[in-house]
Amino acid sequence: MLEQLFRKKDIVDDKNTQLKRCLNAFDLTLLGIGCIIGTGIFVLTGIVAATHSGPAIIISFLIAGIACAFAALSYAELSSSIGTNLSTAISGVTFKIPVASTSTNDEVRDYKIVNSFFNTMVDTDSISGKILSIDENGSGKLVINMNGQEVEKQYKWEMDQTNKEIYLKTSIDVLNWGAQSSLDALNEVCLEQHTGPDGKNVLWPNVDITVIVDL
């Protein structure tokens, strides 16, 4: 019974609909006000002033307005729990990855990455970003902030219906964020690990990243 009462609609786009979603926040606000305010405000004003509140009618209206505001907030919370389309739910979501959370299952390597790579950048406490858009065809755009620079990237996404999660996957080249000096510093402290059997030292600047969004 409770599961039926508090059930939520899955966030999926209906490709067969012919209706265009064109209501913005201002339109919905006016729609809500129209639902709250009825003819009673015009009919009962004189009755309330004459038989109940008298000169305190203004205070009565203030109290009623506050009560209506709380009712409107309650309905807004209820409507947000029902769900919306995927683009509206995901677009604009921001994320932040603390560099201290770096984990390669090797504490020595993690220490070198944090101190020799991230700590040589500008504003290296975290890598932040924002999801700009998400398309039905499994792609989208996001922006990543690192080393004091902002770079826009394309990504591919897939949904896990069981765990209600969306995985955004992309590959970045740290050189696009002006991280050559940081890459050289990391390569210097990890020289042995990056030297192959042929004696050549190689450190690839490409990194695969995955952002997980909980629905």
Q: Find the CATH number of the domain harbouring 146.
A: 2.40.128.110
Q: Residue 35: which domain range?
A: 22-82
- Domain assignment present for residue 10? The answer is no
Q: How far apart are CA 155 and CA 51, in angstroms?
A: 66
Tokens of 56: 């305190």
Q: Who has greater pLDDT, 6 or 25?
A: 25
- Domain assignment present for residue 12? The answer is no
State whether 92 and 170 are in the same domain.
Answer: yes
**Domain end: 30, 54, 82, which one?**
82
- Domain assignment present for residue 45? The answer is yes
pLDDT tens readout for residues 51-64? 888 888 888 888 88
- Domain assignment present for residue 13? The answer is no
- Domain assignment present for residue 9? The answer is no
Give me the pLDDT at residue 215, please.
65
- Domain assignment present for residue 17? The answer is no
pTM: 0.52
State whether 112 and 197 are in the same domain.
Answer: yes
pLDDT tens readout for residues 138-181? 888 999 988 888 889 899 988 887 777 888 888 888 888 888 88
**Shortest CA distance to 79 belongs to which of 14, 35, 18?**
35
Task: For residue 13, give the amino acid letter.
Answer: D
> How many CB atoms lie under 10 A from the CB of residue 151?
16
Give me the pLDDT at residue 195, please.
61
**Shortest CA distance to 35 belongs to which of 23, 43, 47, 27?**
27
State whether 104 and 75 are in the same domain.
Answer: no
Give me the pLDDT at residue 115, please.
84
Give how many domains the chain has, as a whole number: 2
State whether 184 and 104 are in the same domain.
Answer: yes
Tokens of 71: 């009712």
State whether 101 and 160 are in the same domain.
Answer: yes
State whether 120 and 200 are in the same domain.
Answer: yes
Q: Please give the average per-residue pLDDT across 83-112, as a whole number.
A: 78
- Domain assignment present for residue 104? The answer is yes
Task: For residue 75, give the amino acid letter.
Answer: Y
- Domain assignment present for residue 132? The answer is yes
State whether 46 and 118 are in the same domain.
Answer: no
Residue 124 has pLDDT above 60, yes or no: yes
State whether 61 and 116 are in the same domain.
Answer: no
State whether 71 and 103 are in the same domain.
Answer: no
Helix ranges, the chain (H): 2-5, 25-36, 40-51, 57-80, 86-90, 107-112, 180-189
State whether 125 and 70 are in the same domain.
Answer: no
Angle, vertex CA 27, rays to CA 21 and CA 29, nearest 5: 125
| Backbone Cα Rg of the chain | 27
State whether 110 and 64 are in the same domain.
Answer: no
State whether 184 and 100 are in the same domain.
Answer: yes
